[in-house]
Structure formats: C-alpha cells, structure tokens
C-alpha cells in the first residue's frame, strides 16, 4: 500500500470485516467541509483475525471514536490501522477536507462553484477514513448540510427521503437526506450540490414502477438536455427488452460538470457526466458528439447491473464491468443506428488505440496481474479488448447460450463483488464447455498474428491458419488461444457458396477443409472482425477489389477497401510508387454506386491513420518517417480528389440534407458523405465550397467541417476569428475551436500554433477538456507532433510537468502519447527519451506519472 509499491492480484485478501450500514453527514464548505461518518462494523468470521485497516488520503482528522472511546491508531502508508475489538463495534469519525483546492478532481471537489465527487477507483479515501475497496459493500444514508453556500440542489445516491429546499441563501440550515437501499462499494458513492436546474421526465419500468428522471445542469444549459434524456429512456427500455434488466430506484439523476477527468461515471442512481458527454444541441454539437452522448449515457446506465448490482471483487477485475458494459453499449448503438457502421468505427478505434498499446511498452493483459496506480489501467486493453472478449465468447457459444449465461450471471451474482473466474464459470455451467483455453485471452497480453494460406484440390478447399503472439513486457512465451474465425466463401462470379461459418481455432497451426466446391472460391476471412487479431493474408489487389465490390459481409467489404488503401500507401511510402489505379478504380466504382449506403461510402473514403501506417511499417522491419507518411497521405488525397472530381461534385450536391436537422444515423451518414466530398473538393476549388458552407451552416457538424477544411487549405484565418466571436460564451464549442486549429494545421506549424494557444486567455491547464483540446490535439496531429525539431515533444512535456502537481490522473493518461517512441528514428527517439527523462526527473512527480513514464521508458 506504500506509495509506488506494486500490488499483485495473487495477494488478494478479504477485508475481514462486514459493514452493516454507513451514515454520512456532509457540512459543506468550499475550503473546510466536515464529513461525519457513523459506521457499524462486525468481524467477518470466515476470515481469521485481520488487522483493521482503513484507507485515507489528505484528511484532517477532527475525531475518531470506537464505541465512544478514542482508539489506538497506527499510521500506515495510505491509511491507518486501528485497535478495535474483535466484535461488532460503532465507528464515529469527523474529518475536514478542502474541496476548493482539490484540482486532482478525485474525491470531493468544486467545479464552477458546484460541489461534486469522483470516487472511482480510489477517491473515496479522500473523503473519509474507510475500507475503500470494491469488495466492501454497504448501505449508505447521506445527509448533506449547506450552511453558507448557495446550494439549492443537493443530491446523493439512492432515493431522496427528505428535502429541505430553502432557496433563500441566508436561512439555515439547508439540508437533504438520501438513502440508498442497495449495498454498494465506496467507489459508487456520489454527492452533488449547487445551483442546478433539472430537465425532468419519467419512465415506467417493465413491472410498472414509475421512475423520476432528471438531468441537472447549470443555468443556461437547460436547453441542451433533451437529447440526453431521450437517450436515457431508450437505454432503460433497451436493457429491459434485450437483457431483462429493470431499474431499481425511485429516481435516476444525471449531473453535468465541466471539470471531469473522464467521460462519465456510473455512481448508483446519480451518474456524473463530463458536460461534453451529455450536453447537446444541433448548433453546438456535431453528429459524432450526438452519437457519443447517446452511447455514454447508455454505458453508464447499463452499469447499474453490470458494475453496480454486480461489482468487481478487486480492481484487477475491472474488465468484468467495463469490458462487458462497453460490449453492451456497442450492441445498443448497433441497434439504435447502423450495426455495420458501428462495427467498422469500433474496429478502427481498436486498431488505433488498443493495438498500439498491445504492441508497445504499456502492453498488459485484459486482466492485469499487477499495478502501481489503478488509474493507469483504465486502458483501451481493459475496455475495448475486454469488450472484444465478450463478443468472442458470444460467437463461440451462440446467441441463445449467451442469453442464458447472462441470465444465470445476474441471478447467481446479484449483490456480489465478482471475478473473471465467476464470469467464465457461468458460461461453463450454461454450455458445458471448458473455457480454460479461452481464459488465456484475459491473461496473456499482446495481439495475436493470424496468418492464413489456402489450397484448392479436387473440389476441396483448405484454409490453414497459424497463430503467433509476439512477446510483451514480462511475458516472453504465449500459448495458443482459441480464436473464432468467421469465414464465408464466394464464387468468382460473386455468389456466396458458403455463408458465414465460425471456425474454432485452438492450435498454433490448424487447417479447415470445405468439400464439394466446383471452383476455387474467394475466401472472406474474419468476418465482422470476429477476433481481435492481426490478420496476415496475401490477398492480391484484384481479390481485394473483388471483395470490396462483392463481399456480403459489410465489415469485410470495408476491410477490403482498407487493405487496398494500405497497400497503395505502403508502396508510395516505401518505393515512391504512384497511387495504384486498381485502388482508385475500385473505390470510384463504390462511390458512384447510389445503391450503397452513404455512411458506408464515407467510411470507405477514410484512410489508414498515420499511426497505423507507422506501426505497419515498423512491423515490416522499417523505420517509419512521419513526414513521409504525411506526404503519402496528402498525395493520395490530392490524386483521389482530382480523379473523382465529377463524382464528388455530384455527391456533394446530391447528399445535402434538406430536412430539419436531426442527429440520427441516416442524416449523419448523409452529412458525412457530403462533407467528405466537400473536403476533397476543397483541394481543387481554393476553399470556395467550404467558405460557402461555413457562411451558411446552421448546425455544428456543417460549421466545424467547413472550418476544418478552411484551415487545412491555409485560408482559415477569417473563419477562425468569426467562429471564436460567435461561440466565445460556449466552453464546449471553444474546445472545438482550440482543437481544430491544431489538428488541421500544416505539420510544420502545429506545435507553434498549439504553443500560442496555450497562451490564449481562454486556455486553462486546470480544465481537462481544454487541456485535451489543446495538447491532446497536438498529439493526434501525427506529423505535427513528431516534427523533427522536437518542438511538439517539448511543448507536451512542458505542459505535463505543469499539470502533474495539479492533476496526476490526466497527466499520466496523456503521457501515453509517447508510448510508441521506439518505433521512430534515433533522432526522434533521443528527443523523446530526453523529454521522458526530464518529466521523470521532476521533483515530487506523482505516482501516476512515475509509473507511466517508467513503463514507457522500459
Ligand atoms: N467507470 C467509468 C468511469 C471512470 C473511469 C471512473 C476511470 C474513474 C476512473 C465509466 O463507466 C466509463 O467507463 N466511462 C468512459 C466512457 C465509456 C463510454 C467507455 C469514460 O469516461 O471514458
Ligand atoms: Zn464504464
């Protein structure tokens, strides 16, 4: 438990005590909030004589009493050990904390004059002495008193019992009482108090119970809640329809806060959201924002069952709730919108973030076996790969068995703090399968390489696969995993001769034969991306073009186009080749075909990211040059614009949405195709169309894409000024303004512009959204971040050093921008290494950043 000490899964021990109930009183004060706790503990007689240890951090203790007497207290790293009787006893304690000065945004803090909390993973220990571990579950009653502040609204978990709303500031006391009937771990505790306005609604559950719903926001934001409320009701209904899960309290509250490290948090009955993840209006939010808001509201709501009713025994089991809940929110989005588009988007994100993590110094298993700072393990691996594992399980056992297993999971483990073993056992008991090999997916880090060869002989067609996973830090050898490989076979005339079938690979090398085929088929392998692997397949250009035109699996159709683009770009970068006409023609055919979904065509126009190209080159034994990658991407974009000029001119005109703005999948797909066409034409028309769109846009999707196009074309100065003037009152739109100027800048200017923006009066290091909009945008700018002078690295390092003492969690997270440093040339490696070492040498650097930098340096 000492600072910087490694914690191991194998060392898990239960707390040793059981809590009957917790009573908390908060006397709110900006700099001196008093927290009074009354807790009944009794020994857990199943656990032999454990010391009584409570976590606590930065607490000013006023008094501690055990059964009315002052106990002996021993200070330990991270908490206290207290002499208590080995019998039931009453704990009474008063501490003082300072929300105003809490810039780390963990525990109780203030954001724009409002009190709020963030306790996951280990923030409750900054509120009071407590066994702050997820396997300690208790019923909480919370009384909030506000004597000096204007806090007309005060909320906590569960149901509001008593609400003394006295809106006049000078009359005291002003208090409220909340009771949560469901036992919960401390990380799900929440408190909010401030001057807030509710957007209210109601939902009737499947058993006929009425639930009061509210989204609480600061005055001025109340017209940005309607979309979130609809998303919430859809989520509640969907979880009833698809998983049979009903809501279990009389009220459900969502609160929007401006200063928040993450996207949102699933506190029982009181979800707290980063305002960027809940507030929405057509004028201020893009189509992508709307989709993300819908997904994240669903995600946090779904945690009520997968996370809250069934929680995690310890933080090593994080994927138990996060992987499953990401999987559930993806299913929800697929149902609400377009399933293929959602799948393609998710795979792009997985390859962009998780594959990079898995192939670098930060690689770790979906269920890690050790950590120093748990906040550093809220990663793409735990979340996104964790969700892929659920998808693979479902593919392996089938939809019906999946449903039965989930019913059993909810039934058997309701109220538990569970483990991955519990989760897998439910599937084993439901299906009779042995999942011990599947478990390797949770235990082994690294992305498997899956190579395939085929052979056709006398009517039999054989696919031979080999799997191999490269070593990752601390794991040299990897055992073969079970891989569900969804395969279809097409006739050369385009008909499907074998519809999707799932091959179950269990060996390092394995063959599968299809009999009775008249001609050699064209295989479509890893349909719908049935496993998170890197598929190594020698598919020639003509076959990829054939699959792009004919595959019945939409994901693999997109994949074929992506393969073509990748092949062309690699040849351009490596050999200075010209863009291949096979690629240009195949894509053109698709673009022209108006029977094809506009959203799909827009996705097909996407190109592999700078990062994916760098990783692919590196895997092939080359040293990626960010400038060369940027040049190749630019050249290809220019060549495509010229080659498709007539088509994109037509598409741009034809796919303008004329109906009133709606953030649905159909309109958003149409806009994304028209905007893709606009940004291509922008290379040919000197920014004419973009300017026109910027001048007339009545929604943020159109306005922001035009702004980006104008900046890219180098004539955005006027639009940048006007955008700022129009939106300076709206912090979320101004975040977009900061980002756009950096993301769309020429690489040679990106760091200079980012540096200048950090001097802007609206820049503040204390707001994570603004910090990410500026420095995060720089790291996403590819060649801009990696410019040879090292200016990008230096700027990021300067800002990380400044942020670390204020907000370690966000600092550590942003250190990952350096994680792939060993891919690059020695000049860049030396520049990055110097910055990593400079940050690491900062006196009193946080445990969060220290762990991250040490691992990145390797
Ligand atoms: N439980 C997390 C929020 C969280 C993460 C709290 C890390 C403390 C530390 C929440 O359910 C979550 O996963 N939020 C995601 C968004 C989601 C849609 C994947 C987030 O905040 O990014
Ligand atoms: Zn989550």
- Indicate if the pLDDT at residue 164 is higher than 70: no
Distance 21 CA to ligand 2 centre (A): 26
- Is 551 contained in some domain? no
Pairwise CA distance, residues 730 & 334, whole Å? 31
| Domain endpoint, select from 176, 195, 214 | 195
Alpha-helical (H) ranges within 713-790 are 717-727, 731-743, 747-758, 768-771, 777-779
* pLDDT at residue 4, as a whole number: 77
Q: What is the CATH number of the domain that holds 461?
A: 2.60.40.1840
- Indicate if the pLDDT at residue 148 is higher than 80: no
Give per-residue pLDDT as tens, 328-338.
Answer: 999 999 999 99
Report the pLDDT averaged over residues 252-279.
98
- Sign, CA dihedral 412-425-317-320, equals negative
Sheet with strand 509-514: strands edge to edge: 509-514, 460-468, 449-457, 534-537
The DSSP code for 46 is T
Mean model confidence pLDDT for the chain: 96
Residues 474 and 420 reside in one and the same domain: no
Pairwise CA distance, residues 4 & 370, whole Å? 12
Give per-residue pLDDT as tens, 528-585.
Answer: 999 999 999 999 999 999 999 999 999 999 999 999 999 999 999 999 999 999 999 9
**Closest C-alpha to ligand 1, atom 13:** 322
Sheet with strand 107-111: strands edge to edge: 107-111, 114-118, 191-194, 153-156
Minimum-distance ligand to the CA of 321? 2
| Domain endpoint, select from 531, 560, 577 | 531
Q: What is the CATH number of the domain that holds 826?
A: 1.25.50.10
Could you tell me which of 361, 187, 318, 376 has the C-alpha nearest to residue 809?
Answer: 376
- Is 652 contained in some domain? no
Q: State CA 810 to chain mean position distance.
A: 14
* pLDDT at residue 627, as a whole number: 97
Report the pLDDT averaged over residues 349-375.
97
487 pairs with which residues across the strands? 501, 525
Task: Please tell me which residue in 145, 300, 357, 373 is annotated as part of the active site.
Answer: 300
Q: What is the percentage of the chain residues whose pLDDT exceeds 70?
A: 98
- Indicate if the pLDDT at residue 804 is higher than 80: yes
Distances (CA, A) of 746 to 395, 608, 637, 689, 703: 44, 19, 15, 20, 20
Give per-residue pLDDT as tens, 751-768.
Answer: 999 999 999 999 999 999
- Indicate if the pLDDT at residue 853 is higher than 60: yes
**Closest C-alpha to ligand 1, atom 2:** 265
Place of tokens 């691996």: 381
**Closest C-alpha to ligand 1, atom 15:** 263
Minimum-distance ligand to the CA of 809? 1
Phi and psi for 145 in degrees, rounded to 5?
-120, 135
Taking the CA atoms of residue 204, residue 205, residue 209 and residue 213 in that order, the dihedral angle to the nearest 10 degrees is -60
Q: What is the pTM of this model?
A: 0.98
Residues 376 and 478 reside in one and the same domain: no
Mutate to test the pocket of ligand 1, among 262, 289, 298, 302 (most ligand atoms within 8 A of CB): 262
Residues 107 and 13 reside in one and the same domain: yes
Pairwise CA distance, residues 726 & 707, whole Å? 13
Residues 345 and 481 reside in one and the same domain: no
**Closest C-alpha to ligand 1, atom 16:** 263
- Look up residue 793 and give its two tokens: 């690295």
Q: What is the CATH number of the domain that holds 383?
A: 1.10.390.10
Pairwise CA distance, residues 678 & 707, whole Å? 12
Strands (E), 506-545: 509-514, 522-525, 534-537
| Domain endpoint, select from 143, 168, 195 | 195
Pairwise CA distance, residues 400 & 404, whole Å? 6
Give per-residue pLDDT as tens, 468-483.
Answer: 999 999 999 999 999 9
Q: What is the DSSP string of 301-312?
A: HHTTTBTTTBEE
Q: Which range has the worst mean pLDDT, 138-147, 415-424, 733-742?
A: 138-147
Pairwise CA distance, residues 219 & 212, whole Å? 20
Report the pLDDT averaged over residues 345-360.
97
Residues 392 and 427 reside in one and the same domain: yes
- Is 598 contained in some domain? no
Residues 477 and 344 reside in one and the same domain: no
Residues 350 and 499 reside in one and the same domain: no
Pairwise CA distance, residues 235 & 240, whole Å? 9
Residues 432 and 493 reside in one and the same domain: no
- Is 306 contained in some domain? no
Distance 383 CA to ligand 1 centre (A): 9
Report the pLDDT averaged over residues 181-200.
97
Between the two ends of the chain, the Cα-to-Cα distance in Å is: 23
- Is 716 contained in some domain? no
**Which of helix, strand or coil describes residue 339?**
helix
ω into 280 cis (within 30 of 0): no
Residues 369 and 502 reside in one and the same domain: no
**Which of helix, strand or coil describes residue 176?**
strand
Residues with CB under 6 A from ligand 1: 120-121, 262-266, 295-296, 299-300, 303, 322, 326, 378, 383
Q: Can you give the length of the chain in residues?
A: 858
Residues 161 and 14 reside in one and the same domain: yes
- Report the domain count for the chain: 4
- Helix H or strand E segment including 320: helix 318-336
pLDDT band at 48 (very low <50, low <70, confident <90, very high): confident
- Is 47 contained in some domain? yes
Q: What is the percentage of the chain residues whose pLDDT exceeds 90?
A: 96
Pairwise CA distance, residues 143 & 278, whole Å? 27
- Look up residue 134 and give its two tokens: 């997820």
Give per-residue pLDDT as tens, 686-706.
Answer: 999 999 999 999 999 999 999
Residues 505 and 431 reside in one and the same domain: no
- Indicate if the pLDDT at residue 2 is higher than 50: no
Ramachandran sector of residue 107 (left: φ over 0; alpha: ψ -120 to 50; beta: rest): left
Residues 436 and 460 reside in one and the same domain: no
Pairwise CA distance, residues 449 & 134, whole Å? 36
- Indicate if the pLDDT at residue 1 is higher than 50: no
- Indicate if the pLDDT at residue 50 is higher than 90: no
Q: What is the CATH number of the domain that holds 164?
A: 2.60.40.1730
300 is catalytic: yes
- Is 122 contained in some domain? yes
Distance 704 CA to ligand 2 centre (A): 29
- Is 604 contained in some domain? no
Cβ-based neighbours of 12, under 8 Å, separated by 6 or more: 313, 314, 316
Give per-residue pLDDT as tens, 416-443.
Answer: 999 999 999 999 999 999 999 999 999 9
Residue range of the domain that includes 504: 449-531
ω into 121 cis (within 30 of 0): yes
- Look up residue 724 and give its two tokens: 């700022």
Pairwise CA distance, residues 80 & 102, whole Å? 22
Instruction: Tally the C-alpha atoms within 13 A of residue 297's C-alpha that lie toward its C-beta.
Output: 34
Report the pLDDT averaged over residues 126-137.
98
Could you tell me which of 848, 785, 776, 779 has the C-alpha nearest to residue 812?
Answer: 848
* pLDDT at residue 644, as a whole number: 98
Distance 721 CA to ligand 1 centre (A): 35
Decide the pairing of beta strands 251-257 and 270-274: parallel
- Indicate if the pLDDT at residue 174 is higher than 90: no
Distance 541 CA to ligand 2 centre (A): 41
């Amino acid at each position: 438990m000492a600072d910087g000490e490694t914690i191991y899964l194998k060392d898990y021990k239960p707390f040793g005590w059981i809590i009957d109930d917790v009573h908390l009183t908060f006397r709110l004060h900006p700099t001196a909030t008093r927290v009074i706790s009354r807790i009944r503990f009794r020994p857990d007689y199943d656990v032999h004589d454990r010391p009584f240890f409570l976590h606590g951090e930065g607490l000013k203790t006023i008094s501690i009493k055990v059964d009315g007497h002052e106990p002996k207290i021993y200070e330990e790293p991270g908490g206290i050990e207290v002499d208590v009787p080995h019998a039931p006893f009453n704990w009474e304690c008063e501490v003082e904390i300072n929300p105003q000065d809490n810039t780390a945004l963990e525990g109780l803090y203030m954001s724009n004059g409002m009190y709020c909390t963030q306790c996951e993973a280990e923030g409750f220990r900054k509120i009071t002495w407590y066994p702050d571990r997820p396997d300690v579950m208790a019923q909480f009653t919370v009384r909030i008193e506000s004597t000096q502040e204007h806090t007309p609204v005060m909320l906590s978990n569960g149901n509001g019992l008593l609400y003394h709303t006295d809106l006049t500031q000078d009359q005291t006391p002003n208090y409220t009482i909340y009771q949560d009937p469901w036992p919960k771990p401390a990380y799900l505790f929440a408190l909010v108090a401030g001057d807030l306005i509710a957007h209210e609604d109601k939902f009737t559950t499947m058993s006929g119970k009425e639930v009061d719903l509210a989204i609480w926001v600061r005055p001025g934001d109340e017209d940005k809640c309607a979309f979130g409320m609809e998303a919430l009701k859809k989520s509640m209904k969907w979880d009833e329809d698809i998983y049979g899960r009903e809501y279990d309290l009389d009220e459900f509250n969502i609160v929007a806060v401006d200063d928040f490290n993450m996207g949102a948090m699933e506190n029982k009955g009181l979800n707290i959201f980063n305002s960027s993840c809940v507030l929405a209006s057509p004028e201020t939010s893009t189509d992508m924002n709307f989709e993300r808001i819908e997904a994240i509201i669903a995600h946090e709501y779904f945690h009520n069952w997968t996370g809250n009713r069934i929680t995690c025994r310890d933080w090593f089991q994080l994927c138990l709730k996060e992987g499953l809940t990401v999987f559930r929110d993806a299913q929800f989005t697929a149902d609400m919108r377009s399933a293929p588009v959602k799948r393609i988007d998710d795979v792009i994100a997985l390859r962009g973030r998780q594959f990079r993590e898995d192939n670098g110094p930060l690689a770790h298993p979906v269920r890690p076996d050790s950590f120093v700072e748990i906040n550093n393990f809220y990663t793409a691996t735990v979340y996104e790969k964790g969700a892929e594992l659920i998808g693979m399980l479902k593919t392996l056992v089938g939809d019906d068995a999946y449903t039965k297993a989930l019913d059993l999971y909810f039934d058997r483990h309701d109220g538990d703090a569970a483990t991955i073993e519990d989760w897998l056992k439910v599937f084993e008991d439901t299906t009779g399968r042995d999942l011990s090999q599947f478990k390797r997916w949770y235990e082994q880090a690294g992305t498997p390489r899956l190579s395939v060869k085929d052979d056709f002989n006398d009517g039999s067609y054989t696919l031979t696969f080999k799997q191999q996973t490269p070593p990752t830090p601390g794991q040299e050898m990897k055992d073969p995993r079970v891989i569900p490989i969804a395969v279809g076979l097409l006739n050369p005339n385009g008909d499907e001769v074998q519809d999707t079938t799932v091959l179950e690979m269990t060996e390092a090398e394995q063959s599968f034969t299809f009999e009775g085929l008249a001609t050699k088929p064209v295989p479509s392998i890893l349909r719908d991306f049935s496993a998170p692997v890197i598929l190594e397949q020698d598919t020639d250009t003509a076959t990829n073009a054939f699959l792009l035109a004919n595959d019945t699996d939409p994901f693999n159709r997109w994949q074929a186009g992506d393969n073509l683009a990748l092949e062309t770009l690699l040849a351009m970068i490596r050999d200075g080749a010209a863009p291949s006409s096979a690629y240009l023609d195949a894509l053109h055919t698709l673009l022209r075909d108006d029977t094809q979904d506009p959203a799909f065509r827009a996705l097909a126009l996407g190109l592999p990211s700078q990062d994916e190209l760098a990783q692919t080159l590196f895997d092939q034994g080359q040293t990626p040059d960010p400038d060369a990658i940027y040049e190749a991407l630019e050249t290809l974009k220019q060549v495509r614009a010229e080659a498709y000029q007539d088509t994109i001119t037509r598409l741009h005109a034809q796919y303008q949405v004329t109906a009133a703005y709606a953030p649905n999948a159909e309109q958003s797909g149409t806009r994304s195709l028209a905007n893709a066409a606009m940004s291509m034409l922008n290379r040919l028309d000197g920014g004419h169309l973009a300017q026109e769109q910027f001048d007339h846009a009545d929604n943020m999707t159109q306005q922001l894409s035009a702004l980006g196009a104008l900046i890219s074309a180098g004539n955005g100065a006027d639009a940048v000024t006007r955008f700022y003037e129009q939106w300076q009152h709206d912090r979320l739109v101004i975040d977009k303004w900061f980002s756009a100027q950096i993301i769309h800048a020429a690489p040679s200017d990106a760091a200079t512009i980012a540096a200048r923006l950090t001097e802007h009066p609206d820049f503040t290091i204390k707001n994570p959204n603004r910090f990410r909009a500026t420095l995060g945008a720089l790291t996403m700018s590819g060649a801009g971040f990696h410019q040879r002078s090292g200016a990008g690295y230096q700027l990021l390092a300067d800002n990380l050093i400044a942020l670390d003492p204020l907000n370690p969690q966000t600092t550590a997270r942003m250190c990952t921008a350096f994680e792939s440093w060993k891919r690059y040339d020695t000049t860049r490696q030396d520049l990055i290494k110097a910055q990593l070492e400079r940050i690491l040498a900062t006196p009193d650097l946080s445990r969060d950043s220290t762990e991250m930098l040490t691992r990145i340096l390797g």
